């Protein structure tokens, strides 16, 4: 009897030691922000903090035409969504915007097996592509889509850009065939990148919330067409934006619950849009009203989140001293 009790106590102790060990290992494996996985590990901590809390100004020349504006909105949203891509990229959380931050370049991008020097990527790597992988390690500098001399004609009226982006999604990053509206949107967005550029800006919850809201507005417009396939990708883009907000607010009481609720609602809409697009549109309107309230709360709590450089700095120093 006693022996059995001793054994039980031993087993419980062993299990808790293992659990703590596994939790510690897991937290070491997964950094607090996903994008830290592709930041140059040799970058000084102050620069890492800067990279995580600022981003280049987005330089967009938005035309007055409403149809063009709608296309650009679709492109802008999916450009930031890993689920546009497939395979390893989607699993790792890499999107067009991971390499081309705000449509620009990314001098710190370092992805094991894909990058050589920081800021380069081998876009014919077999890690990202089962189709274009050429077995040769030949990383190229990631171009700034605004200021670098373009190799591909960026005029969306010509077929070149559309064809190039299609190849990137389907062949380079193993994504599924994108719906026409999504491809047109990407070409319109990349084509509209340009004009005078300001300096780097602080990243904010309001900025990410606006990305989520714009993706929902685009999804709503696509449901009215109805183009369910494209709408589905836009809903996924909104969910990715919510995921990025969620990472930044991990451990801020109340906010995580709100974001989880909004994400759950979008998951339901992704099911509903197939059977009842009209009801899905109504659900998105209610969602937007709730999310507008959430955005106020996000703003209030921003100083306690990983949008604050001070909080990022302390979090990083804790991770590194372990």
Contact footprint for ligand HEC (CB under 6 A): 94, 96, 98-100, 114, 121, 123, 140, 142-143, 145, 150-152, 164-165, 168-169, 186, 190
Which tokens in the block code for residue 30? 């997964």
Taking the complex as a whole, the smallest distance from the CB of residue 140 to ligand HEC amounts, in Å, to: 4
Task: Say if residues 81 and 98 touch (Cβ distance below 8 Å).
Answer: no
Taking the complex as a whole, the smallest distance from the CB of residue 171 to ligand HEC amounts, in Å, to: 11
Q: Which is nearer to ligand HEC, 143 or 226 (CB)?
A: 143
Taking the complex as a whole, the smallest distance from the CB of residue 127 to ligand HEC amounts, in Å, to: 10
Q: Which is nearer to ligand HEC, 114 or 298 (CB)?
A: 114
What CA–CA distances, in Å, run from 232 to 49, 60, 145, 229, 282? Answer: 34, 25, 27, 5, 16
Distance CA(219)–CA(169), nearest Å, equals 20
Q: Which is nearer to ligand HEC, 72 or 311 (CB)?
A: 72
Which tokens in the block code for residue 126? 């077999």
CB burial of residue 288 (10 Å; 0-12, 13-18, 19+): middle
Which tokens in the block code for residue 165? 């982006």
Q: Which is nearer to ligand HEC, 114 or 238 (CB)?
A: 114
Q: Which is nearer to ligand HEC, 39 or 190 (CB)?
A: 190
Distance CA(55)–CA(7), nearest Å, equals 56
Residue nearest to ligand HEC (CB): 96
Distance CA(94)–CA(77), nearest Å, equals 14
Q: Which is nearer to ligand HEC, 38 or 287 (CB)?
A: 38
Distance CA(147)–CA(197), nearest Å, equals 9
Q: Which is nearer to ligand HEC, 114 or 223 (CB)?
A: 114
Cβ contacts of 237 within 8 Å, gap of 6 or more? 77, 78, 80, 81, 83, 84, 215
Q: Which is nearer to ligand HEC, 4 or 151 (CB)?
A: 151
Taking the complex as a whole, the smallest distance from the CB of residue 169 to ligand HEC amounts, in Å, to: 5
Q: Which is nearer to ligand HEC, 144 or 247 (CB)?
A: 144
Taking the complex as a whole, the smallest distance from the CB of residue 211 to ligand HEC amounts, in Å, to: 16
- The alpha carbon torsion through 66, 197, 117, 79 (nearest 10 deg) reads -10
Taking the complex as a whole, the smallest distance from the CB of residue 300 to ligand HEC amounts, in Å, to: 34
The radius of gyration computed from the CA coordinates of the chain, to the nearest angstrom, equals: 22
Taking the complex as a whole, the smallest distance from the CB of residue 245 to ligand HEC amounts, in Å, to: 21
Cβ contacts of 238 within 8 Å, gap of 6 or more? 77, 212, 213, 215, 216, 219, 266
ω into 226 cis (within 30 of 0):
yes
Taking the complex as a whole, the smallest distance from the CB of residue 152 to ligand HEC amounts, in Å, to: 4
Taking the complex as a whole, the smallest distance from the CB of residue 45 to ligand HEC amounts, in Å, to: 24
- The alpha carbon torsion through 48, 101, 238, 300 (nearest 10 deg) reads 50
């Amino acid at each position: 009897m006693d022996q059995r009790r001793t054994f039980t106590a031993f087993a419980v102790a062993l299990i808790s030691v293992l659990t703590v060990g596994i939790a510690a290992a897991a937290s070491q494996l997964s950094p607090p922000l996903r994008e830290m996985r592709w930041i140059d590990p040799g970058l000084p901590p102050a620069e890492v903090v800067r990279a995580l809390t600022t981003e280049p100004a987005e330089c967009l020349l938005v035309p007055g035409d409403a149809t063009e504006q709608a296309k650009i909105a679709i492109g802008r949203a999916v450009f930031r969504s890993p689920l546009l891509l497939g395979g390893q990229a989607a699993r790792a959380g890499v999107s067009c915007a991971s390499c081309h931050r705000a449509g620009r370049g990314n001098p710190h991008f370092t992805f094991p097996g894909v990058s050589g020097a920081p800021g380069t990527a081998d876009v014919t790597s077999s890690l990202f592509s089962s189709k274009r992988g050429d077995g040769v390690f030949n990383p190229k500098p990631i171009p700034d889509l605004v200021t670098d001399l373009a190799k591909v004609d960026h005029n969306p009226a010509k077929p070149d850009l559309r064809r190039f982006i299609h190849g990137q999604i389907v062949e380079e990053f193993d994504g599924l065939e994108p719906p026409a509206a999504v491809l047109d949107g990407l070409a319109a967005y990349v084509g509209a990148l340009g004009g005078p550029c300001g300096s780097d800006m602080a990243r904010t919850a309001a900025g990410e919330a606006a990305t989520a809201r714009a993706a929902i507005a685009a999804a709503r417009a696509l449901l009215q067409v109805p183009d369910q396939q494209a709408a589905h990708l836009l809903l996924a883009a909104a969910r990715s934006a919510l995921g990025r907000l969620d990472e930044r607010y991990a451990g801020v009481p109340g906010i995580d619950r709100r974001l989880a609720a909004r994400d759950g609602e979008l998951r339901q809409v992704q099911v509903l849009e197939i059977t009842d697009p009209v009801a899905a549109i109504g659900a998105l309107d209610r969602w937007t009203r709730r999310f507008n309230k959430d955005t106020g709360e996000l703003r209030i709590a921003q100083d306690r989140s990983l949008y604050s450089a001070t909080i990022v700095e302390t979090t990083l120093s804790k991770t590194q001293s372990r």
